[in-house]
Structure 1
Amino acid sequence: MNERRERVDVVIVGGGISGLCAAYWLAQQGFGVKVLERDAEVGGTMKSVHEQGFLSETGPNSALETTPLFRELVDECGISDEFLYANPVGKNRYILRDGRMHALPLDPAAFLMTKLFSARGKFRLLKEPFVGRGTGEESIAEFVSRRVGQEFLDYAIDPFVAGVFAGRPESLSVQASFPKLYALEKKYGGLVRGMIRGRRERKQRAEKAKDRAESFSFAGGMQVLPRAIATKLGHAVLTNARVEAIRRTDPSSFSVTYTHGDVPGTIDCRSVVISAPAYGAADLLQPLSGEAASVLRSITYSPVTSMVLGFKKEEVGHPLDGFGVLIPTKERRDILGCLWSSSLFPYRAPEGMVALTAFVGGARQPELTQLPENKLCDLVLNELKKIMQVSGKLVYLRVTTWKQAIPQYELGYLRKIEALDRFEESRPGLFLCGNYRGGISVGDCVKSASEVSQRAARHLRTHASPARG
């Protein structure tokens, strides 16, 4: 069987949002690119499934518009007509306490009135400006309890960490997981002072804070974005392509071997961007650097099962007037939280129906993701009946389990990133990109891909003129 052989400037391994964005911006600068994606379609975990009138997201349900790069991508890829901001009701976010849902307060007046925090907890929060700086590396739990108290940790930060990282605040590094939060203390001496001054600085950079940025998606689901980028890239994207090896052929060149179906292929290039998950990147890097591969394998991922459930609207007792509900560890429940998908965006459920997305497992209860689907369904339905007064029969179900869903930025994580930085410096032309570096959100991935594309472009300009595939 004849081997396919071609030459480009850059090979991007992985067709998730990070790899596609990096490829797109490099192509925009005139470089020849090739994206090799192992799966049958692009998007990575960002998959949107349409069936029975429901739209199920197997990965991110939405993104926060924290960077103008999103609008640039949407406009340039011609998907402005599909772009949707979340229903304003999504500003309401609920936390479960003592079996009852409480809206997270959004302003000082609501904070004073809420029953989510006790009077003692509120008073402790008001003392934050007078707390001194910490020393050494701290977990999120240590940092938050020191600055604003245990109650705020238990009923605000703990459920938030479960919702974002599917992680535990006792295990995650505050400096690695929430660098902007950590920087408020480091730079300004406190969170309140830092938030006030930080908003002024973000305005100058045309960026939005995550707590002020608007959630968005697309009429056809989040996968609309990676598919549109792939369409713009055209034949530069190859799916069902499994990368077998990456070799440095000389100080300024690489060869990437892969199989596309049963057909082997080799691409000669001057730069490689690996945008696979850390565990996948480790296998590819083993022949080049056992040390870097070991660092990548040491990055742990939490398992998550997402369940999209459909019910008749009148058979759900709660009005579902918000983004959803998050569950603190102290509540001892069997779900991490539940998004009210059809309250946020249209086209998520048929007329007269609602779509809910429940999350199970994470670092909190990883064993639950291993349950048989029928037992898992019973467990989730039992929780939804208690929390949201769901009384009706399930009319739709889609279950997705990611055994390695979200990288955990644990204590000591920054030392791992420093080791990967040193590896990149020692291997000019080879770049690592993905949600294990620079943040796990869709916005973080897009910004990280932009930065990697700029570094790769600088490298390419120092070598021979761009190749053409």
Structure 2
Amino acid sequence: MTAPSSATNQPLDVLVVGAGISGLTIAHELAIAKNYSVMVAEAQDRVGGAITSAKNDEGYLWEEGPNSFQPAPELLRLAVQVGLKDELVLADGKLPRFVFLNGKLNELPMSPPKAIATQILNWGAKIRLALGAMGFARPAMAGEESVDQFFSRLLGKQAVERLVAPFISGVYAGDPKQLSAQAAFSKIFCLENSYGGLLAGAILSAKERKAQKLQDPNIPKIKSGELGSFRQGIKMLPEAIATKLREQGTAIKQQWTLQSISKEGDIYTSIFDTPLGEEVVQSRTVVLSTPAYVSAKLLKDHLPAASQALSEIFYPTVACVVLAYPKSEFIYDMKGFGNLIPRTQNIRTLGTIWSSSLFAGRAPEGWQLLLNFIGGTLDPALAKLSESEIVQAVHQDLKKTLLRVGTKVEPKAIAVHVWDKAIPQYAIGHLDRLATVERELQKSQGLYVSANFIGGVALGDCIKRGLQEANKIEAFLQA
């Protein structure tokens, strides 16, 4: 057993539990920018959390978790700080996105003329959507609205079925009838509540952001619609942060699983199970940057009400199925981001990212690499399938959506990653649950929770929230 945890046997300033992007962002900000003593402990044998990039000898490079990111300023600034400015790759923002509807791909309209011409919605639904976007919608009823209720009230049922619901499948793998509009779409929710309509809100809030925005000359300029990655995959970001931390002297312990947390006076004692036996770490603050179900177990004795609230956050099973086909087998030119599939189309796959169409060097010449997602809240039976059954289910769906009729070609199965607990669901009552957690944390000053079940699941959201959390921790340490 090892008592405290630093060379001087003094308690650490900050112990970060979890080396996903949230935890690494906090550690980087506090250790490097603020010069506090920090240690990061990670249960896995690698850093990055859900970020899982891989490559093989055949020339394929793919993602099994997050597949790209919106290039938010906070994310770009962090990438530059850890030396990845020249490794950034961007997908052409003009590439179309598609919805598979009534047997064919339909391009998502990204301009008023295309919105008028689109066949995704009928004329009645287009008029309904336009009126709703301009603010001509009935007021919200009492109580918390689901995503389905919120967007149906504003944009109409057909828009929800054919546009919103597929997007929900792509981001949350969730059920629009269960997700909270205010929690899952906080920015859009605020547009209606602050500006009286989505269109007016989008225009006015964009003007306000532009007036406040100061371009940082050190971060790359991004064109509208572009999505980002790195030359060797998104994992380059957490690995670069970890390298920077180690160079600065911050310990990153892998295969360290936190067993318990206790507090005596102003000092936290954390006990870990490690490959070398039990280790004890003492620190002034502790950050749990772990999934809600992990944090729930860790807080069960220390803060039982917070533990109960966290245990109610549901994570569905989702599989990422990475398949490759010869380009000759497709009925489309495959120039685009990918396609989403409404649940009404009797196709099990949620959506497909056309990975090798987005970023160069993801597949050998003549081959198309596809990242397919299947499962989610509305398909719990997926968890009972074998990997080969999942591959065949996706392949049969692709024969209906993208592959030429009558193709006999079997897919090259590059990888199948079944995430048993994939994406936290911001279900009805989510904000109340988080408020309970926050109230309970006030009873244990110096204990923090920061992960993707708070404030958005996207990489940029996690980094922005991590920076905010680091500022809170610094204020506490200074006090």
- Band of TM-score, shorter chain: over 0.9
Aligned: 1:225 with 2:240: no
Q: CA deviation at 1:370?
A: 2.4
For 1:314 and 1:354, locate their aligned partners in 2 and report how far apart those are by CA, in whole Å.
9
**1:18 & 1:459 partners in 2: Cα distance?**
19
Q: Does residue 77 of structure 1 match 2:92?
A: no
Q: Within 2, Cα distance between the matches of 1:452 and 1:398?
A: 35
Count of aligned positions = 458
Query: Which of 301, 310, 314 is the aligned partner of 1:296?
Result: 310
For 2:88, give the aligned amino acid. F
Structure 2 CA distance, aligned partners of 1:31 and 1:347? 40
Unaligned runs of 5+ in 2: 216-221
SS of the counterpart of 2:419? strand
TM-aligned CA deviation for residue 3 of structure 1: 6.2
Show the 5 A alignment for 1:39-54: 39-51=44-56, 52-54=58-60
Aligned partners of 1:132 and 1:189 also within 8 Å: no
Does residue 182 (structure 1) correspond to residue 189 (structure 2)? The answer is: yes
Distance in 2 (alpha carbons) for counterparts of 1:13 and 1:233: 15
Query: Which amino acid in the other structure matches residue 31 of structure 1?
Result: Y
C-alpha change, 1:207 and 1:329, in structure 2 (3 Å) is farther
* In structure 2, C-alpha distance between the alignment counterparts of 1:148 and 1:409, rounded to whole Å: 21
Kept in 1, the 8 Å contact 2:93–2:223? The answer is: no
1:163 pairs with 2:170: yes
Residue in 1 aligned with 2:63?
57
Deviations 1:90-135 (A, max 9, x none): 3x11001112110000000000011111111111112212214313
| Residue identity opposite 2:315 in structure 1 | Y
Structure 1 residue 452 corresponds to structure 2 residue 469: yes
CA distance in 1, matches of 2:360, 2:469: 35
> Quick one: distance in 2 between partners of 1:150 and 1:77?
46
Indicate conservation of the 8 Å contact 2:305/2:437, yes or no: no
> Is residue 11 from structure 1 mapped to residue 15 from structure 2 by the alignment?
yes
Matched residue of 1:294: which SS? Answer: helix
Aligned-pair distance for 1:213?
A: 5.1
Higher deviation after alignment, 132-141 or 108-117:
132-141
Amino acid aligned to 2:64: T
Matched residue type, 2:69 = A
| CA shift digits 1:137-192 (9 cap, x unpaired) | 10010011111100100000000001000001111000010011111111111111
Identity of matched residues, %: 35
Q: Which residue of 2 aligns with 1:311?
A: 325
Alignment match, 1:103? 107
Counterpart residue identity of residue 180, structure 1: K
Off by >4 Å, runs of 4+ in structure 1: 1-4, 210-213
* Residue of structure 2 equivalent to 1:430: 447
Return the offset for 1:88. Answer: 3.6
1:249 aligns with 2:264: yes
Q: Deviations 1:237-269 (Å, cap 9, x if unpaired)?
A: 11111112111121x211111132023211111
Residue equivalent to 2:353: 339
The whole-number CA distance in structure 2 between the counterparts of 1:313 and 1:420 is 50
For the residue of structure 1 that corresponds to 2:86, the secondary structure is helix
Shift of 1:17: 0.3
Alignment of 1:406-445 (within 5 A): 406-445=423-462
The Cα shift of 1:2 comes to 6.1
Please tell me whether residue 124 in structure 1 is matched to residue 136 in structure 2. no
Q: 2:91–2:228: 8 Å Cα contact kept in structure 1?
A: yes
Equivalent residue of 1:404, what SS? coil
Q: Is the alpha carbon distance of 1:423 and 1:211 closer, same or farther for their aligned partners in structure 2, counting shifts above 3 Å?
A: farther
2:2·2:280 contact (CA, 8 Å) conserved in 1?
no
User: 1:87·1:343 contact (CA, 8 Å) conserved in 2?
Assistant: no
- Asked if structure 2 preserves the Cα contact closer than 8 Å seen for 1:312 and 1:395, the reply is no
Report the alpha carbon displacement of residue 317 of structure 1 after superposing the two structures with TM. 2.4
Change (3 A) 1:288 1:211: farther
User: Any idea what the Cα deviations from partners look like across 1:274-320, whole Å, max 9, x if unmatched?
Assistant: 00000000111112011111111011112100101011222222211
8 A contact 1:133–1:186 mirrored in 2: no
Quote the residue 1:238 is aligned against: 253
- State which drifts further: 54-63 or 4-13: 4-13
Q: Separation in 2 of the partners of 1:369 and 1:213?
A: 34
Taking the aligned partners of 2:324 and 2:383, their CA distance within structure 1 comes to 20
Identify the residue that residue 466 of structure 1 maps to in structure 2: none
Verify the 8 A CA contact 1:2 1:263 in the aligned structure 2.
Answer: no
Whether the 8 Å contact between 2:26 and 2:469 is mirrored in structure 1 is yes
TM-score calculated relative to the size of structure 2: 0.92
Q: CA deviation at 1:364?
A: 1.7
1:151 is matched with which residue: 153, 158, 161? 158
The one-letter amino acid of 2:74's match is: L
Are 2:364 and 1:350 equivalent residues in the alignment? Answer: yes
Q: CA RMSD in A?
A: 1.7
